[in-house]
Amino acid sequence: MDKDDTLTRSEAQAAETMTGAQMVIRALKDQGVTHIFGYPGGAVLPIYDALFKVEGITHVLVRHEQGAVHAAEGYARSTGKPGVVLVTSGPGATNAVTGLTDALMDSIPLIVLTGQVPTHLIGTDAFQECDTVGITRPCTKHNWLVKDVNDLSRVLHEAFEIATTGRPGPVVVDIPKDVQFQNGAYHGPQAVHHRTYRPKTDPDLSAIVKAVEMMASAKRPVFYTGGGLINSGPEASKLLRELVDLTGFPITSTLMGLGAFPAARPEWLGMVGMHGSWEANHAMHDCDLMICLGARFDDRVTGKVSSFSPGSKKIHLDIDASQINKIVRVDLGIVADARLALREIIRFWKTQKHKVQADALKAWWKQIDQWRTKKSLDYRNSDTIIKPQYAIDRLYELTKHRDDVFITTEVGQHQMWAAQRFHFQEPNHWMTSGGLGTMGYGLPAAVGVQMAHPGALVVDIAGEASVQMTMQEMSTAIQYDLPIKIFILNNEYMGMVRQWQEILHGKRYSHSYSEALPDFVKMADAFGCVGLRADKPSELDDKIKEMIAVNKPVLFDVRVDPTENCYPMIPSGAAHNEMLLSPDDGGEISDAGKMLV
Amino acid sequence: MHDTKVKLAADIERHTLTVLVDNEAGVLARVVGLFSGRGYNIESLTVAEVDAMARTSRITIVTSGTPAVIEQIETQLRRLVPTHKVTNWTSAKAGIEREMALVKVAGTGEKRVEALRMADAFRARPVDTTQASFVFEITGAPSKIDSFVDLMRPLGLVEISRTGVAAISRGPDAM
Ligand SMILES: Cc1ncc(C[n+]2csc(CCOP(=O)(O)OP(=O)(O)O)c2C)c(N)n1
Ligand SMILES: [Mg+2]
């Protein structure tokens, strides 16, 4: 049996004695943590006490624990480092649940520390007691309740290891108040080695050889890339570019993977999926080899699974073995870290002197160029009313010369327009709630991003409905001088809900109108930020420039066409080659499709 | 193997899986939560610590699903942090499965005699006897217990308690 977590005597002697609360701060420092997003309460007061005037760690006081978790997600996604959250027991922990689920779905590494009632009160319905490990078990990669102070440092270091390695994800460490007060032995990170957890990161070379052969004989290949490439680190994105250089294969990406490959390059087909481009979805449907790198065949990507890319062989690279063959049967699965697998694929491609099927590839590109002529992202502009697409295009045009632009979003039409039209050239610059689709994500995420990148331009492309869910974090932005820009595409509707009601529910717009909206400019004023409003297309550029120029948080109320719909669209239950390009396409939705979300 | 790979509805198979886990707080909840959260079936579940020194527990689960679902169940179980090892006895074909049951039968006269005779044939042993009842202890493959229970039904079956399946590999090697 593996006894690695048993400390040797010399290590035990090296251990220092301190309180549980001090151990928490010490472990965070030993793990290189510089920022914590948190909110105090009775059950974490000893930890807050240990944090008092501590140097080297900045605590960001949020206004709601959900905001703390999203901020930590934004921090993590824009830096590649884990995000750290500290909240109290009971309501502090339950408020964190949405963020935890969001991070689990999008594989974001977070360490969330929760206070708990003292051990002798656990199970008595004590004040602010809740079963935190029970509640968060299904929405974390792993979690712990630490009942013995001598286990605390080991658990904290394991928490970092589990959150950040393999497929990343959120973890919770629940620490009863008495454990925070007790003295115990602190051990550093080196002394800890988990008993069972061994993520597989190295690819099987036989699978790599096979993958390379399949690529060399492909006539209509496509790279289908996802968030796994971003999580694997910047080197994975570099290797991806090299592989596209070597092969000249076309490439698309999920919502989560945007930025791993530069949108400016000719091989880029745009995003795949429900609101993906015509050429990306048709290439996926008609390819003879799909090379899936760090994506998971989500229903927003596949559409109707039984008609998904029917004629292709499929390679699936994922660090999580359970993703392979989960939704779509593949011909070759590779379980590995994308960076290591890509490195081997490139090495074998080069040393075995593989060549692509040049003639076939040429014909394939000709077909793709044909699809491109559809110009599926085009829209009808107006000089009297601001079209949401136009607003995003202008934001992009006026910022694209900078390489320090970070975009977060809320959830809805604005999110899809941002994904389609704001073109990313580098990884870690695009933060959106993909798997869970959490309205209210973008504003606190922007707080976290700006905290990590003080001089950068951080813009939350928002909807007027979503932004009201976590609006109070504007106050956090003010407190920490974070000049985040909240770019609200205000269509006075929960636009994505309205769009579905229009297409699927006979235009019965049940409760999707954003009534009683606040005056966002006055609201900005009340928070101490800058409020801007634009009603006409002609005002937009100057106001965007003003938004960027002012060194303060900005709420920009961009009044856009309330009836615009987001196209192209694959209706639920349809196949990739059954896209709707505009309202004129009508689109009869099957009863089965209506059942889907 | 005895009754595994039994075809249920079209494409649905019954499989016996063993998960060796670290015996830490909440580990059973993790395993059971995985099944309920993802909509998998649990037909029976057997859990006990098997190595106090190494703090490992062995969880044996009888489940059913399509081959794709069974494959998902295995990989999802492997993904749990405290999991050491997962074995599918139904696919591996080298395991032995046993279950124990206590079966209470009440009756007098002909039926009582017949129950005792059947029990003898199944090597079920009376562990409690009154004028009007027996409690039989029976060990065997789950299908054998099913057959015994079916036979007891018309003979005054009162109550059944089953342990769920324990499984182990044939031959000298561990799972
Ligand atoms: C927390 C949460 N509640 C409900 C939903 C369902 N939902 C998805 S999009 C949407 C409307 C969003 O409206 P808005 O923020 O104005 O964006 P728009 O679609 O108008 O651009 C709703 C209600 C959600 N995604 N998240
Ligand atoms: Mg809206």
Q: What is the pLDDT of residues A390-409, one digit of tens each?
A: 999 999 999 999 999 999 99
Per-residue pLDDT band for A588 (boundaries 50, 70, 90) equals low
Domain segments of chain B as ranges? 13-93, 96-169
Task: For residue A572, name the pLDDT band (cuts at 50, 70, 90).
Answer: confident
Strands B133-140 and B95-106: antiparallel
Protein residue with its CA nearest to atom 8 in ligand 1 = A412
CA of A457: how far to CAs of A3, A62, A520, B58, in Å? Answer: 49, 21, 21, 53
Q: Which of A484, A463, A465 is nearest to A473 (CA)?
A: A484
Strands in A282-422 per DSSP E: 289-293, 313-318, 332-335, 405-409
Quote the ligand 1 centre to A132 CA distance (angstroms). 28
pLDDT of residue B161: 98
CA angle A491, A493, A499 (to 5 degrees): 100
Q: How many CB atoms are closer than 10 A to CB B143? A: 14
pLDDT tens across the length of chain B (175 residues): 344 455 567 899 999 999 999 999 999 999 999 999 999 999 999 999 999 999 999 999 999 999 999 999 999 999 999 999 999 999 876 789 999 999 999 999 999 999 999 999 999 999 999 999 999 999 999 999 999 999 999 999 999 999 999 999 999 988 8
Measure A489 CA to ligand 2 centroid, in angstroms: 7
Q: What is the CA radius of gyration of chain A?
A: 25
- DSSP, collapsed to helix, strand or coil, labels residue A222 as strand
Contact of A223 with A244, CB cutoff 8 Å: yes
Which of A129-143, A166-180, A212-226, B2-16 is least confident?
A: B2-16
A146: phi then psi, degrees, rounded to nearest 5: -100, 110
Question: What are φ and ψ of residue A362, in 5° steps?
Answer: -65, -45
Domains of chain A and any CATH numbers? 9-191 (3.40.50.970), 205-372 (3.40.50.1220), 388-566 (3.40.50.970)
Chain A residue with minimum CA distance to B81: A197
**Per-residue model confidence (pLDDT) at position A433:** 98
Return the sign of the alpha-carbon dihedral for residues A63, A66, A69, A71: negative
Q: Is A325 close to B68, i.e. CB distance below 8 A?
A: yes
CA distances from A358 to A361, A596, B110 (A): 5, 41, 86
Containing B17, the helix (H) or strand (E) segment is strand B13-22
C-alpha span between A474 and A416 (Å, rounded): 24
Substitution target in B58, B70, B75, B78 with the highest count of A β-carbons within 10 Å is B75
CB atoms under 10 Å from CB of A392, counted, come to 23
Give the pLDDT score at A63: 98
Query: Phi and psi of A195, rounded to 5°?
Result: -70, -40
Determine the Cα–Cα distance for residues B1 and A157; give it in Å rounded to an integer: 43
pLDDT bucket at A530, cuts 50 / 70 / 90: very high
Q: How buried is A98 (Cβ within 10 angstroms: 0-12 exposed, 13-18 middle, 19+ buried)?
A: buried
In this complex, which of B25, B71, B78 lies closest to A325 when CB atoms are compared? B71
Mean pLDDT of A37-58: 97
Residue numbers in B near A322 (CB within 8 A): 72, 75-76, 78-79
Contact yes or no for B21/B82 (Cβ under 8 A): yes
Any idea which residue has 């960076």 for tokens? A339
Mean pLDDT of chain A: 96
Q: What is the pTM of this model?
A: 0.96
Cα distance between residue A433 and residue A509, in whole Å: 25
Residues of A with a catalytic annotation lie at 65, 127-128, 177, 496
Distance (Å) from CA A232 to ligand 2 centroid: 34
CATH T-level assignment (fold) for domain B13-93: Alpha-Beta Plaits (3.30.70)
C-alpha count within 13 angstroms, C-beta hemisphere, residue A304: 19
Residue A414 burial (C-beta neighbours within 10 Å; 0-12, 13-18, 19+): buried
Are the CB atoms for A88 and A42 separated by under 8 Å? yes
DSSP B69-119: HHHHHHHHHHHSTTEEEEEEHHHH--EEEEEEEEEEEE--THHHHHHHHHH
Q: Please give the DSSP secondary-structure letter assigned to residue A182.
A: S
Beta strands A313-318 and B133-140 are unpaired
Distances (CA, A) of B169 to A492, B17, B59, B73: 65, 12, 14, 20
Domains B13-93 and B96-169 share a fold: yes
Backbone angles phi and psi of B162, in degrees to 5: -115, 150
Q: Quick one: average pLDDT of A305-310?
A: 96
Strand A457-463 and strand A485-490: the pairing is parallel
- Among the partner-chain residues B26, B76, B81, the one whose CB lies closest to the CB of A196 is B81
Radius of gyration of chain B (CA): 18
What b-and-e string marks burial along A290-321, b requiring 16 or more CB atoms within 10 Å of the CB?
bbbbbbbbbebbbbbeeebbeebbbbbbbbbb
Q: What integer pLDDT is reported at residue B124 of this predicted model?
A: 98
- Residues contacting A515, CB < 8 A, separation 6+: none
Q: Please give the distance, rounded to the nearest whole angstrom, from the Cα atom of residue A307 to the centre of ligand 1.
A: 29
- Please report the pLDDT score of residue A587 as a whole number: 58
Dihedral angle of Cα A562, A568, A573, A574, to the nearest 10 degrees? 150
The residue with greater pLDDT, A590 or A74, is A74
Model confidence band, residue A586 (pLDDT cutoffs 50, 70, 90)? low
> E strands of A398-553, at which residues?
405-409, 430-431, 457-463, 485-490, 530-534
**Is residue A99 exposed (0-12), middle (13-18) or buried (19+ Cβ within 10 Å)?**
buried
My answer on whether omega of the bond before A568 falls inside 30° of 0, hence cis, is yes
CA nearest to A145, candidates A163, A130, A162: A130
Q: How many CA atoms lie within 13 A of A446 on its CB side?
A: 35
Q: Give CA angle at B124 (B122, B126), nearest 5°.
A: 145
* Chain-chain contact of B51 with A1 (C-beta, under 8 angstroms): yes
A206 interface with B at CB cutoff 8 Å: no
pLDDT at B53: 95
In this prediction, residue B93 carries a pLDDT of 67
CATH of domain B96-169: 3.30.70.1150
| Distance from C-alpha of A343 to C-alpha of A349, rounded to nearest angstrom | 10
Residues of B with CB under 8 A from a CB of A: 21-22, 25-26, 29-30, 33, 37, 51, 53-54, 56, 68, 71-72, 75-76, 78-79, 81-84
Give the strands of the sheet with A313-318, arranged side by side: A268-271, A251-253, A221-225, A289-293, A313-318, A332-335
Minimum CA–CA partner of A133 in chain B: B26
For residue A6, the model assigns a pLDDT of 47
DSSP A35: E
**Per-residue pLDDT, A571:** 87
**pLDDT on residue B8:** 66
Q: For residues A265 and A248, what is the distance between their CA atoms, to the nearest angstrom? A: 11
Residue A1 has pLDDT above 60, yes or no: no
One-letter amino acid for residue A227 of the chain: G
CB A590 within 8 A of CB A575: no
